Structure 1
């Protein structure tokens, strides 16, 4: 059992560190996911929406600190209790999410109206690793196998603070696990580097001051500092389909070898006065007097383009391909002009003027209406037009309002938060 508890501490602690770090990297994205859950037609907790970013920061940072506490054996009763509470809540949440999708699918097959909205993924690992709600639920059940014993053993005083020798063992073993998941699976070396720095700081404070709370406070400050940096700039690692080096057109299409969806068609038809059914892959009955109805069941999901809903539209036409073919394009993104940072909007003027002088086409993208577009152009003396794009898509394109992308024939060459507009090179 002692070996099992050691393994449990390593698995839970390492996974919490990587999961929390991925979300700290993109706290704004995680806050959007919380807003999806807070919506009226999901959990009906709309009063929490104004605090979603604060909640996102707290959850992400605490998740890492709890992972550190488990690794070093610090405040084991409190840390194991908080971890168990988090795991029970997220297990319920992923069960709720997966059950909603099952009910939605069943209602669709029966032709019934389904008024509830379902969240399609829990955001456990942000955009780094997309898990279906059912997969997330099974993942949480798996983790409960380790977190429940940790809780009981901690409250029986069988999980003590590490000795210095034990610290070395746990730090090395945890680093190996973080390398396996954070580097080999997620593909982000920073997870290992950050963890090693975090371990070193906690190790030094813990073994030189004997201050458990001071060690955890240091971990908290480091994680909060990293989170703040990503909020004030852009995520250190961009896992989305609009990152530097990606091409919009390529990500909007599927390759020739893409997996196609496999769908069963259940045909109900009448032949010679008798109602019959057959199941095939879409051809339908060879002979029939009347088709009564047809149902479809997706056997295997097909591949989907990385970018599905991105458009650049005027009031009259779709200009997406026209702009994405340009050699020099500056794309200013503001999902909501009403919520755009005034300092950021002021900074756009000089940047846009410089870009136009150097032969760049400058456009804005927003989900705001024509009245607001006109008002913003007049207030900030902006000499470029705003075009329409879906708000959710724009929130995905760049985690800044406003944010700026430089494209060459659809390929992103530069991408900055409005705080870093001066870093752009034309």
Structure 2
């Protein structure tokens, strides 16, 4: 009796750990899949922290981003359904066995402020991440040790179908979000976000003091300048960076600063307070930007001029790269300088397009889905693409949930019906044999 009770307790504990691990891995893999470039940037931060940037090929961070999302999501679903019961617990144990000491090092040394395990959806401190991984490691050890206690939710007849569909689903989701934009945008520049409110400091809170430093070159000599002592146009822009002078409360948006390249003037307030529409072409590095749609971008600029809308290209590129882009594309629109990290946070496309009005993000497009002449048939005030779609988030949740859950439920129902049919057939056969 005591042994039976102990076996029941172990079974309950193992399956509780199993569902806990499954939910965490599914969520972690999914948020990485919907923002593969964000995961790529975080992997690049890790490589810089380890000093390995020059040792790995350029394509490695993105490949690692895709593989990480797919592995975590698939392992979570496999564990949830109780399939691949030998390999899934083993891989989870190996992953947590590596990640737990790694996050301990991150917590102690703090080379990176956020590990990025849940992307921008849930931001944890390094110590929070370490303790979270301790619980996950305990759960992974339990599931691996008593993996025979895992109760499958589907028979072996259909487990390959669940495994294959899970793989194809997360691969398709990752590639779609890479080509377009993240299905769910957890960053402070999402559609509908008021950038001005995101920059506000609560009453009584002490703000973090930042300073933008510009690296300029003249006669072969590079020198740093601030906004206060920005030199004349004889200096050539090389790079810019934002440094913390005094740590304090950090609002969601704390580094949104637009500097006109032509004269170094700060036009941030002018852009955010504009009550009319403003197009922002965001290209964090022009020498890496996709130029396959340059004609369409130029047409967008012509459309903005004809309708008296502002149009700026925001970049952190050097003057040489800007001039090269102008020569290659025939760009006539004005260029503005901005922090590189801010630009990559604003939109996961290089280039990408944002539409602002009165400081609010009205719409965003990747380079692969820019509005064309068939969409821009009138002034923006009369077009649906220039209106915030308040139902976008809820519709996306339902659509993403439906495309994943309903097929799996269908497979499970077919499996249950098939199993019940064969069970009745066996019973009937046994009854006929005993007669």
- Residue among 208, 219, 225 paired with 2:166: 219
* Residue number in structure 2 paired with 1:303: 249
Alignment TM-score, normalising by the size of structure 2? 0.71
Q: Which residue of 2 aligns with 1:254?
A: 201
Whole-Å separation in 2 of the counterparts to 1:147 and 1:54: 26
CA contact (8 A) 1:347 1:418 kept: no
Could you tell me which residue of structure 1 aligns to residue 72 of structure 2?
A: 63
Give me the CA root mean square deviation: 2.0
> Residue 344 of structure 1 contacts residue 402 of structure 1 at CA under 8 Å; is this kept in 2?
no
1:207-251 deviation digits (Å, cap 9, x = unpaired): 5x8153443121100111111111111111111111111122221
The equivalent residue for 1:187 is none
Q: Secondary structure at the match of 1:419?
A: coil
- Deviation per CA, 1:375-423, whole angstroms, max 9, x where unpaired? 2122212221111111111000100000000111211111111111127
C-alpha contact (below 8 Å) 1:69/1:79 kept by paired residues: yes
Q: Which runs of 5+ in 2 are unaligned?
A: 1-9, 209-246, 381-435
The Cα of 1:302 is off from its aligned counterpart by 5.2
Task: Tell me, in whole angstroms, the C-alpha distance in 2 between the residues paired with 1:87 and 1:46.
Answer: 27
Note if contact 1:366-1:388 (Cα within 8 Å) is conserved in structure 2.
Answer: yes
Aligned equivalents of 2:325, 2:207: Cα separation in 1: 44
TM-score by length of 1: 0.72
How far the C-alpha of 1:323 sits from its partner, in A, is 2.0
What's the secondary structure of 1:57's corresponding residue? helix
| Secondary structure of residue in 1 paired with 2:86 | helix
Query: How do 1:21-420 residues align onto structure 2 when only pairs under 5 Å count?
Result: 21-39=30-48, 41-48=49-56, 49-101=58-110, 118-154=111-147, 157-159=148-150, 162=152, 167=153, 210-256=157-203, 258=205, 303-315=249-261, 316-326=264-274, 327-420=276-369
Q: Distance in 2 between matches of 1:46 and 1:98?
A: 25
CA contact (8 A) 2:44 2:61 kept: yes
- SS at 1:343's partner residue? coil
- In structure 2, the residue corresponding to 1:338 is in which secondary structure? helix
In structure 2, the partner of 1:296 is none
User: What is the distance in 2 between the residues matched to 1:314 and 1:139?
Assistant: 44
| Secondary structure class of the residue paired with 2:354 | strand
Relative to structure 1, the CA distance from residue 245 to residue 319 in structure 2 (aligned partners, 3 Å threshold; closer, same or farther) is same
Whole-angstrom CA distance in 2 between matches of 1:5 and 1:56: 30
Cross-structure match for 2:397: none
Take 2:102 and 2:294, find their aligned partners in 1: how far apart are those partners?
38
| Change in 2 beyond 3 A, CA 1:302/1:313 | closer
SS at structure 2 position matched to 1:127: coil
The answer to whether the 8 Å contact 2:188/2:252 transfers is yes
Deviations, residues 244-300 of structure 1 (Å, cap 9, x unaligned) = 111222212213265889xxxxxxxxxxxxxxxxxxxxxxxxxxxxxxxxxxxxxxx
Give the drift of 1:158: 4.1
Separation (CA, whole Å) in 1 of partners of 2:54 and 2:124: 25
Long gaps (5+) in structure 1: 102-117, 168-205, 262-300
More moved, 29-38 vs 304-313: 304-313
> Which SS does the other structure have where 2:286 is aligned?
coil
Checking the alignment, whether the CA contact within 8 Å between 1:344 and 1:401 is kept in structure 2 is no
Q: Hey, what's the Cα distance between the residues in 2 that align with 1:382 and 1:26?
A: 30
- SS of the residue aligned with 1:332? strand
Q: Are the aligned partners of 2:189 and 2:361 in contact in 1 as well (CA < 8 Å)?
A: yes
Partner of 1:112 in structure 2?
none
**Greater alpha carbon shift after TM alignment, 244-253 vs 132-141:** 244-253
The count of corresponding residues between Structure 1 and Structure 2 is 324
- CA drift at 1:322: 1.8
